[in-house]
Amino acid sequence: MLTRRHFLAATAGALGAAALGDGFLLEPAAVQITRHELPIPSLPAALDGVRIACLADVHLHRGISRAAHAALEQVDRERPEIVVLAG
C-alpha cells in the first residue's frame, strides 16, 4: 500500500530529477537569440548596419560542448561582422 509519506517522497524525488535533468541536459544546449537595433548618434556611415554577435555563458572549461557548438553554428549562420565573448 502506498502511504502518503512514500507518495510525497517519490513525488519530491521525481521533481528533483526533472529539475536536474533540465539544468544539466536540456538547458546547457539551449541557444537564445535576440536582435536589437541600437541607434547611435554621430555614428560614422561606414559603421551603419554593422552586426555584432555577443556570446555569453559559453562554458569552455572542458572543451567545446554541445551548447558551444550550437552557439558557434548559429553565429556562423548569422554572419556578424564582429563577435564578442562576454562571460
How much is the pLDDT for 27? 54
How much is the pLDDT for 10? 67
Divide the 87 residues of the chain into consecutive groups of 10 and give the mean pLDDT of each group: 69 63 55 83 90 79 74 88 85
Cα–Cα distance measured from residue 19 to residue 17, given in angstroms and rounded to the nearest whole number: 5
How much is the pLDDT for 69? 80
What domain range includes position 84? 32-87
Q: What torsion, rounded to 10 degrees, do the Cα atoms 27, 35, 85, 40 define?
A: -160
32: helix, strand or coil: coil
How distant is the alpha carbon of residue 8 from its chain centre? 33
> How many domains does the chain contain in total?
2
3 and 36 share one domain: no
57 and 78 share one domain: yes
